[in-house]
């Protein structure tokens, strides 16, 4: 293990921090995002959306829209040629609503026009006659429960043919009726967070001469989009070709389709290229969010702080359509006890259909919500027993060799205790100097609400626990093609993969892997598209692991072929061959020759489909299985100053120690930790889509607040590198863990400062001053 | 949508008289958001950014600042922090550097949002708004009469805002604003306080806690009477705690807040009382400690 606190930018191999290939373009504002796509003669698409959370459609009159000058097409569900249903897990979501709308913002009709304003105005002229129905807006009610884990409510209308339960995951391990000295029960709820990516949903669909379609779109997974688009259009995969357009952030919000099929339908219908770009308000309605959660946790502990059992119940509100709710439910359930070794566990996690906005993937994927509950419980255990919060966590921490509640063995590093000790040992920020008033250091900032009055400091800790990669037996793989050739006397490698770069830096890592494996400086990345095999999803902290693994394997295959060529040229077998600086070198015989000479016109190209080790489905009754690929851990310490009279917060420090297995690109790893920590901070203290009776009340950046630089403290970050023997280069996925622990650490610090229970996340000023709880999603 | 580009003030007034449906455009930080996010399309935009005199301020004979409607927050912060400290403090809390560079006090008054941050300090000092039309010339509207409803003001359809006429500070001023983020946030509620050591009068302004920005009349009256009655202006002694408390209560009572997505009525009232207490303490400490007075 090495401890890394500084990063270098040397030669662009693994372990270095070379500049991103798109860095200059992005910093100078010249990078082309999907919203910048343009083509001569293209049309603009616009989407008419339901204003109601739940209603029957009696009729749709498109005539007034068609009558407008400049309008080229107006389409409804009747115009969907294939199956009018899509979805990541199962296809339950219509491309365009048929007889019923199930959430506010559900697409009902489409317009293509020669100007975006015309398209929008025309969409408004479409007359839809709705019969409003009473929306179901609470997950517990939706699944017919009268109390935690207690069925008994009848007469709840079904929003889908199979009822309102999307999935129930049960985990049962150990003694079903355990005894403990002290029992701590807590109830928590987490509001709906948005990915708040800056680049709105957008893309350009271009009809092709072969009757097919080329779609340029910002997404996280080209091939899963392609599959769903094919079904909706009734076209084969050879006719539906996708190319990744510039992605302005994703965080899970681009795993589901948004405008994809819509643009294709309009393009096929009009025979012209069609571009669709959502505006900010539409974007808030146009992608899935993080599931709101209601959670009840019961911890039984011995007096020394050892956890004897955990009984937990979680309801996740999946909203109107399934999206990835089934997998999110499994994650919340299997990771929901946290990084703690607990012998007796009873966990029930439910995902429900309601008439709220659909919820699906977001960074952390089910574990974020649970972490708020389990970490709050750990603090309460410490308080109740008069123990140190870090000490209680260490006493119960998972280790390599522990078994998690699903029975799976933790078979690589799980340095929870070390992470906690290291983050605890980092220097604390100094107290605010009262003789030097700087409003930017105060809760409220330059809004000038306190000069120190009412301000109390708190410190809190939390640990993240996250599975990396797709779980439960999913065939999770990636494809990479590597081509080595001599161009202008120089070896050049071209990498082909469909894996989506969404800002995280996969493109940089790809170049580093090739340089390391093939000793070639010049690495060209072909545009990500569906002409190469499936790259899998850019999610679950998996791309460096899986596409990185595929690329490494493809490089190895290319290298073996190069060595063959070299030995054929050399006339005999040579031992200990390596590729260094464009040359084939032997450990025993020195330089064999340059690639330029050895290869000349020979092009070496290999394509590899690469899988991580298999996982297995959960037992439906006990939840037992080796369901996950790899576990990742991070620990945060938060220091906060709270104005206890006004309930305003300044996060003073947010330090993190994370085990990353191997930092392929230390600067990018740190970037993930900074960004992830801030996204967690946002959920802790400000980010919530407020939904009342199924209606979104803050679909704008005016009222959906995300952290500004004055809300974000300087962060100390330490990386541990305990290699995972099962993973390429020993790496561990890094993108999600910091998002999971930063918020709970802040909540812990806020509770210490205010002595309030703070059971609703995000906290509101009212909660922090102990006043009436208000403004949460209605129950 | 037509785009009208007057090069001078008279031309602008003539165009507005001609086209009362034309929407004035200053920094555009409200107008452009509105255009981007809503279906509302005005028949015409009247671009006021090419009129130099709107972007300047001057000092009048009676020690008032005549602040052209097109003066930006940035200018107020950089150039007027001494004469108009309350307004400058409010300007510092507006948006982000980009918004402060473009956004104007005139635009804030034009939008007349209950959350407009320039409004409470203008109320606290009793500013007047100078408005003009082609046919009737100019008139001064007392700030108390300027806000007529949620996002409505006293302008006639053919009128434009020319300037705000603002008394220069003759005593400490404060402005505080509550937001659930430490920068770039719309006020959950806000409070402005102005102490006039010359006339021995207290002024207040409350934002985001009623359909329009308002003054806390009772609180002003109470504190003015107590300070005069106890001769505290001259004695320069600390304020009795009970006076601060009563003032804070009266400020909270003056508000008529609602529950909305930014906060609850109960919280707004509570927060206003805290802000009133703190700002009064800071202002009085400043007055008392520095011995600074116009007397
Ligand atoms: C990101 C962001 C953050 C913001 N933060 C804040 C904040 O913290 N506090 C705050 O108070 N506001 C805030 N605002 C709102 C806005 O910046 C202010 O209201 C600003 O003062 C508007 O000034 P402007 O010059 O941009 O006005 P414009 O947008 O040009 O105009 C605003 C309104 O005034 C009218 N108008 C403009 N000039 C005149 C005139 N001379 N005569 C008659 N009518 C006129 C316009 O027709 C329009 O109705 C924010 C806006 C944004 C986009």
Residue spans of the domains in chain A: they are 23-31+477-611, 35-134+206-247+254-279, 293-471+617-768
For residue B178, the enclosing domain spans 173-289
Q: What is the mean pLDDT of residues A718-733?
A: 98
A514: tokens are: 């090739």
Question: Distances in Å between the alpha carbon of A245 and those of A204, A617, B280?
Answer: 9, 35, 56
Residue A772 pLDDT exceeds 60: no
B294 part of a folded domain: no
Q: What is the dihedral of CA A625, A626, A629, A634, to 10 degrees?
A: 80
Min Cα distance A289 → chain B (Å) is: 18
Residue A3 pLDDT exceeds 70: no
Ligand 1 binding site (Cβ under 6 Å of any ligand atom): B 23-31, 33, 48, 69, 93-95, 99, 102-104, 106-108, 110-111, 116-117, 160-161, 184, 186
What is this structure's pTM?
0.97
Q: How far apart are CA A54 and CA A50, in angstroms?
A: 9
- pLDDT at residue number A367: 98
Residue A6 pLDDT exceeds 50: no
Instruction: State percent of chain A over pLDDT 90.
Output: 96
Q: How far apart are CA A660 and CA A677, in angstroms?
A: 15
For residue B116, how far is its CA from the centre of ligand 1 (angstroms)?
8
Min Cα distance B9 → chain A (Å) is: 32
Q: Do A705 and B274 touch (CB under 8 A)?
A: no
Min Cα distance B186 → chain A (Å) is: 7
The best mutation among B11, B30, B109 to test binding of ligand 1, ranked by most ligand atoms within 8 Å of the C-beta, falls on B30
- B188 contacts in chain A (CB < 8 Å): 765
- Does residue B159 sit in the same domain as residue B64? yes
- Does residue B73 sit in the same domain as residue B213? no
- pLDDT at residue number A447: 97
Min Cα distance A81 → chain B (Å) is: 31
Q: Whose CA is nearest to atom 1 of ligand 1?
A: B95
Q: What is the pLDDT of residues A53-86, one digit of tens each?
A: 999 999 999 999 999 999 999 999 999 999 999 9
Domain boundary among B120, B145, B167: B167
Fold topology of A23-31+477-611:
Aldehyde Oxidoreductase; domain 4 (3.30.365)
Domain boundary among B167, B196, B216: B167
Burial (CB < 10 A; 0-12, 13-18, 19+), residue A416, is buried
Domain boundary among B167, B196, B219: B167
Interface test mutation site (partner B, options A191, A285, A437, A449, max chain B beta carbons within 10 A): A449
Residue A373 pLDDT exceeds 90: yes
Q: Give the residue among A326, A254, A338, A255 at the shortest CA–CA distance from A291.
A: A326
- Does residue B15 sit in the same domain as residue B152? yes
Q: Whose CA is nearest to atom 2 of ligand 1?
A: B95
B122 part of a folded domain: yes
- Closest partner residue to B180 (CB to CB) among A453, A765, A772 is A765
- Does residue B194 sit in the same domain as residue B279? yes
Q: Which helix (H) or strand (E) holds A696?
A: strand A695-696
Kindly indicate the confidence band of residue A5, based on its pLDDT and cuts at 50, 70 and 90. Answer: very low
Taking phi first (over 0 means left), then psi (-120 to 50 degrees means alpha), and beta for anything else, what does residue B138 get? beta
- Residues in A 281-320 with any Cβ partner in B closer than 8 A: 281
Q: What is the pLDDT of residues A98-148, one digit of tens each?
A: 999 999 999 999 999 999 999 999 999 999 999 999 999 999 999 999 999
B295 part of a folded domain: no
Domain A293-471+617-768 coded CATH 3.30.365.10: yes
Min Cα distance A684 → chain B (Å) is: 12
Q: Can you give the CATH number for the domain in which B136 is found?
A: 3.30.465.10
- Closest partner residue to A774 (CB to CB) among B179, B183, B259 is B259
For residue A722, how far is its CA from the centre of ligand 1 (angstroms)?
54
Q: Which residues of A181-332 form beta strands (DSSP E)?
A: 182-190, 202-207, 213-217, 240-244, 274-277, 293-301, 307-317
Q: Which helix (H) or strand (E) holds B202?
A: strand B201-207
- Does residue B84 sit in the same domain as residue B186? no
Q: How far apart are CA A728 and CA A722, in angstroms?
A: 13
- Does residue B118 sit in the same domain as residue B132? yes
Q: Do A703 and B93 touch (CB under 8 A)?
A: no
Q: Can you give the CATH number for the domain in which B257 is found?
A: 3.30.390.50
Structural domains in chain B (count): 2
Q: How far apart are CA A311 and CA A326, in angstroms?
A: 21
Q: How far apart are CA A525 and CA A523, in angstroms?
A: 7
B50 part of a folded domain: no
- pLDDT at residue number B295: 41
Atom number in ligand 1 closest to CA B34? 29
Q: Whose CA is nearest to atom 51 of ligand 1?
A: B29
Atom number in ligand 1 closest to CA B46? 47
B94 part of a folded domain: yes
- Does residue B143 sit in the same domain as residue B209? no
- Please state, as a whole number, how many other Cβ atoms lie within 10 Å of the Cβ of residue B228: 14
Q: Which helix (H) or strand (E) holds B144?
A: helix B143-146
Q: Give the residue among B170, B166, B206 at the shortest CA–CA distance from B188.
A: B206
The best mutation among B6, B8, B19, B24 to test binding of ligand 1, ranked by most ligand atoms within 8 Å of the C-beta, falls on B24
The CATH code of the domain at A35-134+206-247+254-279 is: 3.90.1170.50
Residue A683 CB partners (closer than 8 Å, separation 6+): A190, A191, A193, A290, A368, A743, A761, A762
B49 part of a folded domain: no
- Does residue B136 sit in the same domain as residue B249? no
For residue B132, how far is its CA from the centre of ligand 1 (angstroms)?
19
- Does residue B206 sit in the same domain as residue B259? yes
Average pLDDT, chain A: 96
Do A293-471+617-768 and A23-31+477-611 have the same topology in CATH?
yes
- A441 contacts in chain B (CB < 8 Å): none
| Widest distance between CA atoms in chain B | 62
* Residues of chain B below pLDDT 50: 292-295
The interface pTM score, or ipTM, of the predicted complex is: 0.96
- Does residue B9 sit in the same domain as residue B132? yes
- Does residue B27 sit in the same domain as residue B105? yes
- Does residue B264 sit in the same domain as residue B229? yes
Q: What is the mean pLDDT of residues A516-522?
A: 96
- B271 contacts in chain A (CB < 8 Å): 646, 765
């Amino acid at each position: 293990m090495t401890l890394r606190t500084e990063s270098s930018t040397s030669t662009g191999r693994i372990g270095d921090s070379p500049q991103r290939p798109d860095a200059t373009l992005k910093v100078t504002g010249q990078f082309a995002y999907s919203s910048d796509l343009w083509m001569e003669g293209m049309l603009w698409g616009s989407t008419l959306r339901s204003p109601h959370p739940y209603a029957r459609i009696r009729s749709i009159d498109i005539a007034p829209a068609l009558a407008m000058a400049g309008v080229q097409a107006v389409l409804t569900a009747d115009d969907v040629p294939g199956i009018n249903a899509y979805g990541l897990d199962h296809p339950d979501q219509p491309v365009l609503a048929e007889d019923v709308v199930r959430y506010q913002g559900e697409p009902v009709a489409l317009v293509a026009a020669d100007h975006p304003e015309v398209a929008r105005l025309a969409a408004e002229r479409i007359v839809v006659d709705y019969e409003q129905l009473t929306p179901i807006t609470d997950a517990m009610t939706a699944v017919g429960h009268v109390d935690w884990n207690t069925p008994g409510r009848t007469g709840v209308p079904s929003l889908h043919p199979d009822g309102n339960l999307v999935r129930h995951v049960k985990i049962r391990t150990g003694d079903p009726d355990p005894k403990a000295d002290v029992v701590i029960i807590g109830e928590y709820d987490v509001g709906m967070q948005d990915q708040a990516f800056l680049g709105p949903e957008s893309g350009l669909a271009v009809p092709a001469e072969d009757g097919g379609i080329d779609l340029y779109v910002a997404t996280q997974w080209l091939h899963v989009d392609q599959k769903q688009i094919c079904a909706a259009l009734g076209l084969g995969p050879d006719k539906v070709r996708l190319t990744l357009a510039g992605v302005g952030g994703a965080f899970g919000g681009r795993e589901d389709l948004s405008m994809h099929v819509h643009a294709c339908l309009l393009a096929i219908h009009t025979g012209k290229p069609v571009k669709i770009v959502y505006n900010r308000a539409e974007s808030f309605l146009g992608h899935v969010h993080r599931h709101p959660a209601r959670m009840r946790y019961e911890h039984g502990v011995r007096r020394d702080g050892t956890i004897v059992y955990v009984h937990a119940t979680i309801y996740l509100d999946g909203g109107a359509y399934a999206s990835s709710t089934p997998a999110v439910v499994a994650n919340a359930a299997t990771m929901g006890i946290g990084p703690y070794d607990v012998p007796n566990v009873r966990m029930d996690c439910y995902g429900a259909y309601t008439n709220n906005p659909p919820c699906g993937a977001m960074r952390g994927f089910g574990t974020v919500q649970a972490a708020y509950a389990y970490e709050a419980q750990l603090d309460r255990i410490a308080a109740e027993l008069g123990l140190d919060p870090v000490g209680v966590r260490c006493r119960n921490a998972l280790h390599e060799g522990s078994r998690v509640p699903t029975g799976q063995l933790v078979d690589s590093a799980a340095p929870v205790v070390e992470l906690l000790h290291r983050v605890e040992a980092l220097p604390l920020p100094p107290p605010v100097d009262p003789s030097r008033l700087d409003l930017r250091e105060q809760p409220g900032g330059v809004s000038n609400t306190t000069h120190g009055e009412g301000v109390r400091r708190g410190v809190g800790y939390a640990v993240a626990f996250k599975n990396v990669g797709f779980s439960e037996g999913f065939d999770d793989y990636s494809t990479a093609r590597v081509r080595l050739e001599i161009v202008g006397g120089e070896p050049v490698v071209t990498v082909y993969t469909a894996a989506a770069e969404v800002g995280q830096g996969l493109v940089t890592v790809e170049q580093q892997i090739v340089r390391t494996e093939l000793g070639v400086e010049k690495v060209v990345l072909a545009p990500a598209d569906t002409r190469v095999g499936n790259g899998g999803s850019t999610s679950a902290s998996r791309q460096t692991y899986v596409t990185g693994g595929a690329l490494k394997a493809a490089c190895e295959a290319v290298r073996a072929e190069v060595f063959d060529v070299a030995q054929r040229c050399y006339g005999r077998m040579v031992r200990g061959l390596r590729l260094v600086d464009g040359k084939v070198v032997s450990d025993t015989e020195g330089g064999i020759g340059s690639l330029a000479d050895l290869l000349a016109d020979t092009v070496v190209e290999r394509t590899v489909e690469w899988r991580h080790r298999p996982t297995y489905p959960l037992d439906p009754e006990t939840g037992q299985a080796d369901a996950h690929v790899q576990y990742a851990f991070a620990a945060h310490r938060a220091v906060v100053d709270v104005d206890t009279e006004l309930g305003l917060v300044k996060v003073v420090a947010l330090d993190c120690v994370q085990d990353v297995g191997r930092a392929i690109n230390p600067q990018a790893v740190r970037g993930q930790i900074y960004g992830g920590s801030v996204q967690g901070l946002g959920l802790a203290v400000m980010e919530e889509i407020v939904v009342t009776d199924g209606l979104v009340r803050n679909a704008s950046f005016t009222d959906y607040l995300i952290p500004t630089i004055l809300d974000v403290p300087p962060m100390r970050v330490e990386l541990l590198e305990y290699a995972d023997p099962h993973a390429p280069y020993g790496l561990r996925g890094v993108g999600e863990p910091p998002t999971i622990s930063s918020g709970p650490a802040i909540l812990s610090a806020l509770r210490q400062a205010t002595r309030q229970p703070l059971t609703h996340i995000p906290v509101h000023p009212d909660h922090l001053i102990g006043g009436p709880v208000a403004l949460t999603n209605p129950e | 949508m037509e785009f009208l580009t007057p090069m001078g003030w008279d031309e602008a007034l003539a165009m507005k008289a001609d086209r009362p449906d034309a929407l004035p455009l200053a920094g555009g930080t409200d107008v452009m958001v509105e255009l981007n996010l809503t279906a509302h399309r005005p028949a015409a935009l009247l671009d006021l950014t090419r009129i130099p005199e709107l972007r300047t301020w001057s000092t009048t004979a009676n020690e008032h600042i005549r602040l052209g409607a097109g003066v930006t927050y940035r200018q107020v912060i950089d150039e007027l922090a001494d004469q108009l400290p309350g307004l400058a403090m409010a300007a510092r809390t507006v948006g982000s550097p980009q918004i402060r560079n473009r956004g104007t006090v005139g635009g804030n008054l034009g939008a007349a949002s209950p959350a407009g941050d320039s409004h409470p300090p203008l109320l606290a000092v009793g500013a007047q708004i100078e408005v003009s039309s082609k046919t009737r010339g100019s008139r001064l509207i007392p700030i108390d009469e300027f806000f007529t409803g949620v996002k409505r003001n006293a302008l006639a359809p053919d009128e434009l805002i020319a300037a705000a006429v603002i008394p220069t500070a003759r005593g400490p001023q404060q402005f505080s604003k509550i937001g659930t983020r430490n920068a770039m946030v719309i006020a959950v509620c806000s409070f402005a306080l102005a102490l006039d050591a010359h006339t021995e009068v207290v002024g207040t302004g409350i934002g985001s806690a009623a359909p329009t920005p308002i003054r806390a009349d009772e609180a002003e009256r109470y504190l003015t009477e107590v300070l005069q009655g106890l001769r505290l202006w001259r004695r320069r002694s600390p304020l009795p705690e009970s006076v601060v408390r009563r003032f804070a209560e009266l400020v909270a009572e003056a508000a008529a807040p609602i529950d909305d997505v930014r906060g609850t009525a109960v919280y707004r009232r509570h927060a206003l009382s805290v802000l009133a207490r703190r700002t009064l303490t800071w202002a009085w400490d400043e007055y008392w400690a520095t011995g600074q007075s116009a007397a």
